[in-house]
């Protein structure tokens, strides 16, 4: 019984709530009908319009409620407080950086002098950094064994020469006798063979003497040109095997810049292009040069391409071979708009930025190129114009149309004292 009484009470409550609404609707409809009676014939023409207007009055009340709710929601968004440091003005700047060369200064004229005979080092005449003249003795090797070989070769040459002279005289004598019919042709031919063999022995002995003399000369290592001792590899008493490096001589006046460039930037280089070279240990100054040669084959390991740059004018003065250097090639560059990564917001496949338009934030879809490895900026190819103001770091996601005010700026809230890109 209690459940039935409770159910009845709920029905009475619902009826009491609906009754005032129904009464108002009925009164509205009756008013519309009385108006139509007064219109007469014309009422039939406009009856439908009046009824429609009367019927839509209730719908208008309902439609006004969401609009009011939306307006109240807009008013509920907080006003962002933005400082000048939070704003970037999209401006034109140098886009793709010029190709960068990495390498070192090297002497074009350099010689690694090696032992051409196996012997013991007797003396090293010059040390690192000392200047030398062409033909000056640098290293002396032990030549005792080689001198003995030369003496033996010279004695063998004298013996072969005497043998050849005797064979030659015998051949001439038999030739004269054979013309008189006093000897056989066979004897003459045998004498001619012995003469030819003796002649071959003389030629071979002369070659052995020349080889021994050459070996003797190689025990004295001399400077091939005027220069400086760059590296001394041996000392007195060392055993120099065939091919062992003894000293390195360079010509400081022939310094050039030998560098590598990534293969994807080679197409931007041309022979004769100007290069600005910054040398390690020479901060604050740079040297000028021009590209002399670009290799046609990339390095097998790094896949970079070798480039040779000649130093121009007096650019070699005071430089030392082996110093690391970085070169920038003077190539035409396009001016583009670029933004830091913090200003870009990734949303799915889209990239957006938040523009400051008048006094509100506007969502703007942009297209960007890959990140520049040197500047760290992304080039904006579409979606922005020079002078557009964007948030440097949006942080928590702003809302479309959200209002903002600039901190520390008098006057209108939308006025800004923006910071330039990179500042």
Q: Supply the pTM of this predicted model.
A: 0.53
Among 295, 329, 363, give the residue marking a domain's end: 329
Assigned domain for 73 exists: no
Quick check: 58 and 360 in contact, CB under 8 A? no
Assigned domain for 373 exists: yes
Among 216, 246, 276, give the residue marking a domain's end: 246
Query: Does residue 291 sit in the same domain as residue 205?
Result: no
Query: Does residue 239 sit in the same domain as residue 267?
Result: no
Q: Is 363 exposed, middle or buried (0-12, 13-18, 19+ CB in 10 A)?
A: middle
Query: Does residue 306 sit in the same domain as residue 366?
Result: no
CA separation for the pair 381, 95 (Å, rounded)? 11
φ, ψ dihedrals at 361, nearest 5°: -90, 135
Query: Does residue 225 sit in the same domain as residue 294?
Result: no
Assigned domain for 74 exists: no
Query: Does residue 242 sit in the same domain as residue 256?
Result: no
Structural domain containing residue 131? 111-246
CATH for 363: 2.40.420.20
Query: Does residue 202 sit in the same domain as residue 144?
Result: yes
Assigned domain for 75 exists: no
Per-residue b or e along 113-124, where b marks 16 or more CB atoms closer than 10 Å to that residue's CB: bbbbbebebeeb
Domain total for the chain?
A: 4
CA separation for the pair 247, 125 (Å, rounded)? 11
Query: Does residue 222 sit in the same domain as residue 115?
Result: yes
pLDDT tens, N- to C-terminus, the chain (423 residues): 444 445 445 545 454 444 544 555 555 455 544 544 544 433 443 334 334 444 444 444 444 444 444 444 445 678 888 888 888 887 655 545 678 899 999 999 999 999 999 999 999 999 999 999 999 999 999 999 999 999 999 999 999 999 999 999 998 988 888 888 888 889 889 989 999 999 999 999 999 999 999 999 999 999 999 999 999 999 999 999 999 999 999 999 899 999 999 988 888 899 999 999 998 877 777 889 999 999 999 998 888 999 999 998 777 777 888 899 999 887 665 566 788 888 888 888 889 888 999 888 898 999 888 887 667 788 888 888 888 888 888 876 788 888 888 886 544 444 333 333 333
Query: Does residue 133 sit in the same domain as residue 60?
Result: no
CA separation for the pair 257, 16 (Å, rounded)? 98
CA distances, 246 to each of 220, 225, 234, 322 (Å): 11, 16, 6, 19
CATH for 257: 2.40.30.170
Query: Does residue 322 sit in the same domain as residue 411?
Result: no
Residue 122 is encoded by which pair of tokens?
């007797």
């Amino acid at each position: 019984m209690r459940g039935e009484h409770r159910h009845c009470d709920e029905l009475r409550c619902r009826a009491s709530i609906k009754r005032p609404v129904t009464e108002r609707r009925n009164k509205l409809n009756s008013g519309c009908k009385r108006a139509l009676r007064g219109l007469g014939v014309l009422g039939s023409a406009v009856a439908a319009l009046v009824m429609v207007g009367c019927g839509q009055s209730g719908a208008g009340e309902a439609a006004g409620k969401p609009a009011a709710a939306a307006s109240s929601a807009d008013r509920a968004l907080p006003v962002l407080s933005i400082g000048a440091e939070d704003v970037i003005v999209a401006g034109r700047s140098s886009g793709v950086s010029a190709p960068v060369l990495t390498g070192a200064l090297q002497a074009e004229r350099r010689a690694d002098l090696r032992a051409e005979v196996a012997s013991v080092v007797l003396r090293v005449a010059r040390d690192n950094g000392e200047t030398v003249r062409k033909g000056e003795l640098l290293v002396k090797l032990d030549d005792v064994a080689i001198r003995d070989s030369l003496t033996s070769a010279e004695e063998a040459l004298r013996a072969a020469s005497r043998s050849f002279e005797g064979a030659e005289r015998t051949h001439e004598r038999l030739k004269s006798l054979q013309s008189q019919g006093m000897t056989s042709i066979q004897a003459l031919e045998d004498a001619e063979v012995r003469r030819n063999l003796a002649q071959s022995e003389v030629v071979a002995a002369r070659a052995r003497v020349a080889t021994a003399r050459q070996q003797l000369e190689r025990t004295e290592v001399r400077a091939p040109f005027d220069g400086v001792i760059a590296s001394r590899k041996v000392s007195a008493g060392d055993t120099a095997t065939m091919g062992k490096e003894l000293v390195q001589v360079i010509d400081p006046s022939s310094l050039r810049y030998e560098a590598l460039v990534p293969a994807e930037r080679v197409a931007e280089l041309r022979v004769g292009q100007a290069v600005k070279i910054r040398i390690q240990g020479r901060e604050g100054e740079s040297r000028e040069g021009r590209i002399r040669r670009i290799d046609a084959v990339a390095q097998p390991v790094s896949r970079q391409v070798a480039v040779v740059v000649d130093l121009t004018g007096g650019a070699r003065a005071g430089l030392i071979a082996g110093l690391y250097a970085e070169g920038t090639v003077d190539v035409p560059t396009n001016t583009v708009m670029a933004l830091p990564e913090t200003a870009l917001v990734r949303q799915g496949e889209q990239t957006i930025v938040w523009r400051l338009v008048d006094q509100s934030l506007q969502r703007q879809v942009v297209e960007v190129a890959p990140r520049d490895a040197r500047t760290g900026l992304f080039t904006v190819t579409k979606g922005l114009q020079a002078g557009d103001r964007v948030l440097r770091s949006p942080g928590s996601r702003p809302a479309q149309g959200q209002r903002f005010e600039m901190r520390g700026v008098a006057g209108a809230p939308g006025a800004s004292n923006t910071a330039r890109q990179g500042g």
